[in-house]
A and B are shown apart, each in its own frame.
Chain A
């Protein structure tokens, strides 16, 4: 099976712009979660989507949003970018919800976002 893919891998944006990141989960997985990784804050949970519905949300401002499509692919959007949004954004695909599945999360390679 193909793993989790994320596009783009690298992105440079200017303050005030918006950005959209994409994640394609492992085939058959319906749960997609997003995490932000920074040197100062570590790995922080952004949100989780399951069958096109946001099921859980972390403690991030409303500038961070996401959605999931019927094929389970997910996008996250950050509007009005700030310097502090520079981070590695990781997407994780989970088998949670599938019969007999343990629900481990498998991560994509991440998108490195730099805001200047």
Chain B
């Protein structure tokens, strides 16, 4: 079974600064997807970024980028130029590349606060 671990329950960042959220996972599969989701106080889960395991290049979406280390099974999220609207809970998630399985395995999440 796959597991996802987010060991930091909370983090804080100054507005306009950069913050990195950590995530590690465990799997015996060679092909899979990794995701970061954001859940603001409204509770709406929003997809932030996706990484395919077979791609060596790290994914980037505007101010969000990942550092994917497949051998180390590490998948961190970097938020640059942090904004007040980035304050939320962030979840790291794993999905098998098996086309018959949509199941996401989530980490416990990390609460990010942004100081003005």
Contact = CB atoms under 8 A, between A and B. Distances in A.
A55 B99 CA distance: 11
A103 B109 contact: no
A43 B102 CA distance: 15
Contact of B102 (A42, A88, A90, A103): A103
B45 interface: yes
Contacts of A107: 37, 44-46
B84 interface: no
A94 B101 CA distance: 10
For the complex, would chain B's binding face be called helix, strand, loop or mixed by DSSP majority? loop
B104 interface: yes
Contacts of A103: 33, 95, 99, 102
- Of the listed residues A43, A45, A48, the one surrounded by the most CB atoms of chain B closer than 10 A to its CB is A43
Interface residues of A, number: 26
A48 B102 CA distance: 7
B50 interface: yes
B43 A105 contact: no
Interface string B91-104: 10001000111111
Interface in A34-48: 35, 42-43, 45, 48
Interface of B: 33, 35, 37, 42-47, 50, 52, 91, 95, 99-109
